[in-house]
A and B are shown apart, each in its own frame.
Chain A
C-alpha cells in the first residue's frame, strides 16, 4: 500500500518537474540583446534630437549639426546591427528679413520627391532628392503669424509641422522622424520642437 501510494506521488512530482521549463540560455540572451538594442536605439534617438537643441545658439549651423549627427548615428547604428532611417525638417523663421528657411534631410535609403506646402498657399518641391542629402528652400512669412507646413514625399507620406512665428524673435522648429530597426524589432520616434532663438 505504502509503496503504491509513494510511487503515484513520486511519479506525479517527476512528471510535473519535467514539464516545467527553465529559461533557456538562448531566451536569456535574446532578452538581453533586445534590451541592449532598445537602450542603444533610445540613446541615439535622444541625442539626435539634442544635436538640434544644443546648436540653437549658432542659428546658421543647426541644420548642418543635425545632418552631421545623423551621419554619425547611421554609422554607429550600423555597428550595432541597427538600420537607420531618417527624415528631418528644420524651419528657421528670421524676423529681420521675413524669410522662413526650410531644410529637409533625406536619409531614407533611397531618393524621394519632396513637396512642402505652407498654408498661405506657397509651396516648394524637389524631385529625386537623393539619399543622404540636405535640401534648402525659402518662403516668406509675416512675423507673428502661425503657419502650418505640410511635408509630403513620394505621395505616400504626409506630415504637418506647426510654426508659430513671433513678432520680435527668430524661432526654429525641428521635426524628426526616426526609425531604427533590426530583423526582430522596429524603434520609431516622431517629434517636433520649437526654440526661441537669441
Chain B
C-alpha cells in the first residue's frame, strides 16, 4: 500500500514537473509585424540597388520596369510595383491595386554625376497575408 502511494506520488510529481517545463519553454506569443518588416526589407533592397549603381541610372531614364525586375532578386515573394516621381508628379504609371493592405517605400535620388535630377522611386507592396 505504501509502495503504491509512493509510486502515485512520484507519477503526480513528475507530471506536475513536466507540465511546468512545457509552460516554461512555450514560445512567447508575438503579434504579426510583417507589414513593418516588409517595409524594411523593401527599403534595404532599394538601397542595395542604389549602392550597386543601377538604381540611379534606371531612375534617370525613368525605367521603372528595370527597377522592378532587379528587385525580384530581393522581394520575389511579394507582389509589388515601382513608380518614379519627379518633384511634382509621377513619371511612370501608378498601378491599380485591389488589395486593401498596401504599403509604400520611397527612395530619393539627386541624379548622377554631371546630371542633377531630383526624383523619388516609390515601391508599392501588397499580398503579404
List residues of A whose CB falls within 8 A of some B CB: 1-3, 5-7, 9-11, 13-14, 16-17, 22-23, 25, 28-29, 32-33, 35-36, 39-40, 43-44, 47-48, 50-51, 53-55, 57-58, 61, 65, 68-69, 72-73, 76, 80
Taken together as a complex, chains A and B put the C-alpha atoms of A195 and B118 apart, in Å, by: 21
**B20, A13: Cβ atoms closer than 8 Å:** yes
Chain A's interface: helix, strand, loop or mixed, by majority?
helix
Taken together as a complex, chains A and B put the C-alpha atoms of A29 and B34 apart, in Å, by: 10
> Which residues on the A side are within 8 Å of B16 (C-beta)?
3, 6-7, 10
Given A2-B13, A32-B40, A51-B116, also A39-B29 (CB < 8 A): no
List residues of B whose CB falls within 8 A of some A CB: 6, 9-10, 12-14, 16-17, 19-21, 23-24, 28-31, 33, 36-37, 39-40, 43, 47, 87, 106-116, 118, 120
Instruction: Quote the shortest CB–CB distance from B125 to chain A (angstroms).
Output: 14
**B43, A36: Cβ atoms closer than 8 Å:** yes
Instruction: Quote the shortest CB–CB distance from A35 to chain B (angstroms).
Output: 6
Given A14-B24, A72-B118, 15 more contacts at CB 8 Å? Answer: A3-B13, A10-B17, A17-B23, A22-B29, A32-B33, A32-B36, A32-B40, A33-B36, A39-B47, A43-B47, A43-B107, A47-B109, A54-B113, A68-B116, A76-B108
**A5, B118: Cβ atoms closer than 8 Å:** no
Residue of B nearest to A49 (CB): B110
